[in-house]
Amino acid sequence: MNEQNISLLIRHIAGSKKGQVEKFSVASNPEIRIGRGSDNDVSFDPVKEDTISRDHCRISHDTDKPERFFVSDSQSKNGTFVNDVRTSGKTELFAGDIVKLGKEGPSFEFDLDPRPQSHIKKTRVIDPILAKETKMHTATDLPKVTSEKTPPAKEGIGKNTMQHMIRESEKKSKTGLVITILAILLLVSTGGYLLFKNQKVKEIVHVTDPKTSFTPTEIAKANQEKVVYIEMAWKLTNTASGEEMYHVYYPVIKDKQIIGYQAAYSQNEQGAIVPLLVTKGDYLKALGNSQGIELDLIASAGSGSGFVVDDRGFIATNRHVASNWLTSFHFQKYAFPGVLVELNRDGQYAPNWDKTVSQDMVGEWVPGNDRQYTGVNTYLDVTFANNSQRTPAKIVRISSTHDVAMIKIDLPESLPKVELYDSYEEIQPGDETIVMGYPGIAPVQLVLKRSQDVFNTNPNITSVPVPTVSTGNVGRMVRGTEKNSKIDDYKSTFGDYYQLTINSTGGGNSGGPMFDDKGRVVGVFSAGKWEPGASISFAVPIKYVMELMGRQEVIK
């Protein structure tokens, strides 16, 4: 089909533009830009749709094959979803696909006019369960029907014969009862033995002999249902009012036209350069009548790992997974270079265009370190391995000194838990170790579930997490602090970690368990440095998770 004859349709189905349809000629629009910025082809209200980035995503088509279209996220803060699955890189679009800007943002249906043959009733995902072969019965499979007559009824029997038959029947019944009881006892005994045998295999990590070691395969199989996938999103709010906090962007004007935007930064009382944040309720008061100002919500989203430490639903993970606002914030690329603002005579902020701000000047800014602000999770969901059902979680405890936290889910069943072991004083470089988790670079598994709800018949496509097993060794111990007879004090600039020689992990593994060769959790995977040809990872000693599970005296 000639691309000159194809029109691209954006049918808005949720959000401030719901009910609107935008039409673009593919020939004259090789790329459709979508976002809050006024220079986008599909532009959203910058105030009503504050979860959308200025340059959120783009739709393009293959110049060699004009029937193929792709959507790519422009490093937006809240992500782009196609049929409820977050995109990474280019994702091919088909007519009828639902694109959502952020997990809770507005959405639209992608369509083409006319629809090419390749886009009609395109099957995207097949549920393996539904793909099973169904055997069709033929007439030869059915029982044969004959025309034989029913045999005549037997003649009656005498009284003595009847009594003899009853006595024989009673004897047979007693014998059958004894045989049945013996059979039941045999089945129960056999079943109990098999159950005991299976239970021993299932709980293989609860070792009684400290010399016993297990293979990575055995450890992974025994702990797969105890390692969970965590999805989260958060936003920064004002501690006093609970209002959302926004980063201020000033328009760059040339020849009375807005040619771009620059992020605003200020200098706090300690002399540090920090982003200029305001709420929608006070930004006019703080900024005056400046025209064209845009506000960018301070928020983020991502995924991580965790593991069950208590059968009541307590789960250990990283602090930067459970409460991401307590770790350094990753600014968008367009946040730099910025402009430094200063207070004018009226007590309002105004940009000093002669003073630019670079990323190095801001450094590692942690939103939650300022008591004026607090982070709030918009969602914190837990999913078990090979499952699609999400379960909301809540934060129970957060370490004030280490990258560990405790969250909890509420389920009516008792959950299987890992075995914890504090090896801090005995672990050595070279010891074997295994990490389990859900790295974001791993392939995504999708399933299609057809709705059985009469009030919501839309099918649901969801991702199913499958854990990745990574093996390696302890490279070294990075002790946070230490005192002995030779030195008065020692401090590591990095913190208290185990350095690992494991290179198959990645973003998303954070919060996953680190096992020793006996199947015991001795650490929590926390971070990694990946460079071409070399990579190292780090894990927090498990003793800091165990501290969160009880009370710890700091003064005696």
pLDDT (tens digit, 9 = 90+) per residue, 412-447? Answer: 999 999 999 999 889 999 999 999 999 887 777 777
Q: How many domains does the chain have?
A: 2
Q: What angle do CA 415, 420, 426 make, to 5 degrees?
A: 170
352 inside domain: yes
Q: Note the pLDDT tens digit of each residue in 239-281.
A: 999 999 999 999 998 888 889 999 999 999 889 999 999 998 8
Mapping DSSP to helix (H, G, I), strand (E, B) and coil, where does residue 160 land?
helix
Beta strand residue intervals within 98-245, DSSP E: 98-101, 107-113, 227-238
Higher-confidence residue of 234 and 174: namely 234
CA dihedral (338, 339, 343, 349) positive or negative = negative
| pLDDT for the residue numbered 23 | 92
Tokens of 299: 């928020």
Instruction: Give the separation between CA 250 and CA 288, rounded to whole angstroms.
Output: 12
531 inside domain: no
Instruction: Give the separation between CA 543 and CA 399, rounded to whole angstroms.
Output: 12
| pLDDT for the residue numbered 553 | 59
Instruction: Give the separation between CA 124 and CA 461, rounded to whole angstroms.
Output: 9
CA dihedral (361, 364, 365, 369) positive or negative = negative
pLDDT surpasses 90 at 513: yes
Instruction: Give the separation between CA 201 and CA 222, rounded to whole angstroms.
Output: 8
pLDDT surpasses 60 at 550: yes
By residue count, the chain amounts to 556
Tokens of 34: 């979508």
93 inside domain: yes
Mean pLDDT of the chain: 81
Its domain, for residue 346, covers 246-297+330-364
Residue 407 pairs in a beta bridge with 315, 395
Are the CB atoms for 430 and 472 separated by under 8 Å? no
58 inside domain: yes
Q: Output the DSSP codes for 216-235.
A: HHHHHHHHGGGEEEEEEEEE
Instruction: Give the separation between CA 170 and CA 163, rounded to whole angstroms.
Output: 11
pLDDT surpasses 60 at 489: no
522 inside domain: no
Domain at 62, CATH number: 2.60.200.20
Last residue of a domain, one of 310, 342, 364: 364
357 inside domain: yes
Only one residue has tokens 């060699």, namely 64
Q: Output the DSSP codes for 469-481.
A: EEEEEEEEEE-SB
| pLDDT for the residue numbered 170 | 55
CA dihedral (219, 220, 223, 228) positive or negative = positive
Identity of residue 459: P
- Residue 122: φ, ψ to 5°: -75, 125
Residue 483 pLDDT grade (very low, low, confident, very high; cuts 50, 70, 90): very low
| pLDDT for the residue numbered 529 | 72
Which of 28-37, 204-213, 367-376 shows the lowest mean pLDDT across its residues? 204-213
Higher-confidence residue of 327 and 66: namely 327
55 inside domain: yes
263 inside domain: yes
Residue 434 pairs in a beta bridge with 471, 515
Is the whole-model pTM more than 0.75?
no
Q: How large a percentage of the chain has pLDDT more than 70? A: 76
Give 271's contacts (C-beta < 8 A, 6+ positions apart): none
Instruction: Give the separation between CA 515 and CA 316, rounded to whole angstroms.
Output: 14
Instruction: Give the separation between CA 188 and CA 195, rounded to whole angstroms.
Output: 10
